[in-house]
Structure 1
Amino acid sequence: MDSIHIRGGRRLKGSIPVSGAKNAALPLMTAALLTDEPVKLTNMPRLADVRTLSKLLGVIGADISVESGTDSDVMTLHAKDIKSTTAPYEIVSQIRASFWVLGPLMARCREAKVSLPGGCAIGARPVDLYIKGLQKMGAEIDLVEGYVHASAPKGLKGAVIRSPIVSVGATHTLLMAATLAEGETVLENAAREPEIGDVARCLVSMGAKIEGIGTSTLRIEGVEKLHSATHRVIADRIEAGTYAIAAAMTGGEVTLEGANAEDFEAALSVLRAAGAEVESEQGAVRIARNGERLQAVDVVTQVFPGFPTDLQAQFMALMTVAEGESEITETIFENRFMHVQELARFGANISLHGDKALVHGVDKLKAAPVMASDLRASAALIIAGLAAEGETTVNRVYHLDRGFERIEAKLSACGADIWREKAKQ
């Protein structure tokens, strides 16, 4: 497997173009199954997860073409004919978002056979909310040999669905299913993440009738057919937040081109409290630190608009060198502290107490060979390596390629001494 090497101690200075959001691009791709006309997505990130989902959509029957630009791709998906309503284990086990084809397939074909999902090992993340929601819309569902078998011979019907907890995946799935259902569907306690709004706006441009975008209550009036559309994927707030944390970690100054501050304001607020300078303007965010030591800040991960769980590991890396003690509480996933033992290899002082991590800041980190356990932990280890004395080697970086586009190239352009070593064949 590839590894990434970092010689720490260099300040970051320059501009980083923020890629299209992975967590918007993937559901937008599945939404293309709702119509037999082409859907064009611009500002698409070049990620392993995008390639994996493309394989699955190809199996289902979508023709996919990609035009490469300077910093992003343009992808056209045309699911004129659905050749298969089965999403096989071999693909779904690689990427959790592929399970989201369940909603569009049920809406358009009235049947689906989808393997239970895989993805990062950061907790159980059950799919019962997806299933219960579709059942309220009239679907008959069985679990057989690791597959969800769903059918609605007479089509899905509108329903009022209140989720007991906020679930991004369930909101995506039920939102897409409702666009072609008969009557009105109301999703209460729906996820409010910017990526949900991005998908909803694309669906509206395809002819869907959706009210309440950006709120916790979505009203969808089903239509008979959706049509072609062109849509630009929003900037990746998690990538932007990761580079903002990296700039604060190194004491540098970085402008995040294309970032929308409102989409990750909770993270920016925490960085301000830690001592970083944050300035935002239309289409860009600037992060700087003048060299003074960071201050410890407590964080609790929450659903949007709270502090995102996808930045928890990166922020923990930052707090390892802050003055004082910070308490980081993880409320979203029960198994998302696997990076702690790897950060300890740098000399970090972290103790775990259930869903809380107490981080006692140290004066400096020292380089070490480390191994990534999941996508966001990979970024945390790179952030630690940027500040550590000596040469750090981050192994098992295939996780990183699932969600960060050319991270070593973007950091190198800002002065980081970082490079990738290809695995020997």
Structure 2
Amino acid sequence: MNSLVQDAAAAGARVGLKSDEIVIRGGKPLVGRIEVRGAKNLATKAMVASLLGDTPSILKDVPDISDVKVVRGLLEVHGVRITDPARGELILDPSNVESAHFAEIDAHAGSSRIPILFCGPLLHKLGEAFIPDLGGCRIGDRPIDFHLDALRAMGAVVDKQLNGIHLTAPNGLKGAEIELPYPSVGATEQVLLSSVLAEGVTELRNAAIEPEIMDLIAILQKMGAIVTVEPSRTIFIEGVESLRGYTHRAINDRNEAASWASAALATNGDIFVEGADQQDLMTFLNVFRKVGGGFDVQEDGIRFYRERETLRPVVVETDVHPGFMTDWQQPLVVALTQAEGTSVVHETVYENRFGFTDALNEMGADIVVHKEGLPGHDRRVARRPFEQAAVITGPTTLHAANVRVPDLRGGFSHLIAALTAEGESHITNVGIISRGYEHFIPKLRKLGADFDFAG
């Protein structure tokens, strides 16, 4: 069994999937109402932040996804006591934080990249941290150099070993001036989690400013941190001597909401996404409308449907917030296979994020990936090293196929394609999808999808 299959099986098992393969009979619109809750990209980081407090933290609207279970396991092997008194609520008590053995960390981490964010909090609490080799979705190298360079600037000593990285801070972490080469979300989170208890002031330039980053800053401020967000992507963090626990309700998952919106568009369905927030989805909603999608914003969510019978092609450039999220493009590409004309998606964030299109072409799509990217006279996002572009010509009739899920967002895109296609598709490695989509199997049933578990 290769590592991808093992990762998928383990992820699915964490959330109780009966099988890692489903059989989908497509061609039926998805119609109904589903709910999105706490964002994967906030909840897991908020759990790590609890390590910084001297008292317990309470996190609400925690999604039941495998990435949350990975972080829970990592916290527990480090001595954090975690209880869940109600659905979607965690109480995290860090009063007995301790070092963990490499084997325990490695066993719980699996292919997750979350352990890198434990470095700062553990250096503050224990004076050392260890992280195993990092995995994650297979969408590019996603190097951790930004993280390690920031930690070094703050006084950490990094020792790269055969089985991972050992970090120490002989003189404690100190405030520093840090400028990121790219507004990386992970590196920004690293600096925030590492600097709030550091001695002195940290100035972080070219920081990420995604909604999930702002929500993490709100959590840290509740804990007693002093964090100021300035214009032009600059964040100042004044280190404090101690932090307390927090009580916080996680921001809702805008990436999951956009995925279900694309599913409605591709299948000619009508889906109300409870918890979808207009403000966090504005850039997506503009593109959704240009393609021919309709949406009705209500107090408790957004209804998504196809407003135009014939979908229109668009040109999309992924970018950091407030641009078009890279996590949004993969599900949208499936809908663009049904648009009349030629669409272009410029992927400027991750260099290998179009691998999922191979399966779409096998299903009848007409997608050509340009691995060196494409120039454009009207580009808004500057050309970046390793960017790629996908040219999607449609409309094309999708037909059933046997598909192996490659990564989280690509996997959900394959689900959408199978639901759009005529015939019976076999989708394997679906456990990977549970890393970021809460209860996606029951949600598909609520929306009237026709499928069964294989085996």
Q: What TM-score does the superposition give when structure 2 sets the normalisation length?
A: 0.88
Structure 1 distance, partners of 2:122, 2:133, is 15
Which residue is 2:412 aligned to? 379
Structure 1 distance, partners of 2:148, 2:288, is 38
1:85 Cα offset (Å): 5.6
Change (3 A) 1:233 1:213: farther
* Conserved 8 A contact 2:293-2:308: no
Identity %: 40
| Aligned equivalent of 2:346, options 329, 350, 354 | 329
Which residue is 1:176 aligned to? 193
| Residue correspondence of structure 1 range 151-162 to structure 2 within 5 A | 151-162=168-179
1:111 Cα offset (Å): 1.9
Question: Would you say 1:235 and 2:252 are equivalent positions?
Answer: yes
| Aligned equivalent of 1:392, options 425, 436, 441 | 425
| Residue correspondence of structure 1 range 21-420 to structure 2 within 5 A | 21-69=39-87, 73-84=88-99, 88-212=105-229, 216-290=233-307, 292-354=309-371, 355-420=388-453
Structure 2 distance, partners of 1:145, 1:5, is 41
Change (3 A) 1:61 1:336: same
1:213 Cα offset (Å): 7.8
Question: Would you say 1:5 and 2:3 are equivalent positions?
Answer: no
Structure 2 distance, partners of 1:180, 1:411, is 44
1:291 Cα offset (Å): 5.7
Structure 1 distance, partners of 2:303, 2:247, is 30
Amino acid in structure 2 at the alignment position of 1:257: E
Structure 2 distance, partners of 1:123, 1:104, is 27
* Conserved 8 A contact 1:163-1:190: yes
Structure 2 distance, partners of 1:107, 1:124, is 29
1:190 Cα offset (Å): 0.7
Structure 2 stretches of 5 or more lacking a match?
1-18, 372-387
Structure 1 stretches of 5 or more lacking a match?
none
Change (3 A) 1:242 1:128: same
1:337-376 deviation per Cα after TM superposition (whole angstroms, max 9, x unaligned): 1111111121111111111111111342111121110011
Amino acid in structure 1 at the alignment position of 2:208: A
Structure 2 distance, partners of 1:402, 1:420, is 18
Structure 2 distance, partners of 1:30, 1:368, is 40
Determine helix, strand or coil for the equivalent of 1:212: strand
Structure 1 distance, partners of 2:145, 2:442, is 40
Amino acid in structure 1 at the alignment position of 2:439: R
Change (3 A) 1:215 1:198: farther
Amino acid in structure 2 at the alignment position of 1:365: L
Structure 1 distance, partners of 2:147, 2:324, is 24
1:166-221 deviation per Cα after TM superposition (whole angstroms, max 9, x unaligned): 11111111101111011111111111111111111111111111111897211111
Structure 2 distance, partners of 1:252, 1:59, is 44
* Conserved 8 A contact 1:107-1:178: no
Determine helix, strand or coil for the equivalent of 2:61: strand
Determine helix, strand or coil for the equivalent of 1:56: helix
Determine helix, strand or coil for the equivalent of 1:385: helix
1:281 Cα offset (Å): 3.5
1:276-311 deviation per Cα after TM superposition (whole angstroms, max 9, x unaligned): 112324341121214602111111111111111112
Change (3 A) 1:362 1:54: same
1:14 Cα offset (Å): 2.2
Structure 2 distance, partners of 1:213, 1:40, is 28
1:227 Cα offset (Å): 0.7
* Conserved 8 A contact 1:110-1:156: no
* Conserved 8 A contact 1:34-1:108: yes
1:381 Cα offset (Å): 0.6
Determine helix, strand or coil for the equivalent of 2:355: coil
1:397-424 deviation per Cα after TM superposition (whole angstroms, max 9, x unaligned): 1111111111122132122223444xx5
1:8 Cα offset (Å): 1.6
Determine helix, strand or coil for the equivalent of 1:161: strand
1:84 Cα offset (Å): 0.7
Which residue is 2:375 aligned to? none
Structure 1 distance, partners of 2:283, 2:215, is 19
Structure 2 distance, partners of 1:215, 1:30, is 27
* Conserved 8 A contact 1:190-1:218: yes
Change (3 A) 1:54 1:17: same
Structure 2 distance, partners of 1:168, 1:233, is 17
Structure 1 distance, partners of 2:307, 2:290, is 14
1:261 Cα offset (Å): 1.6
Q: What TM-score does the superposition give when structure 1 sets the normalisation length?
A: 0.94
* Conserved 8 A contact 2:36-2:276: yes
Q: Which moved more, 1:44-53 or 1:275-284?
A: 275-284
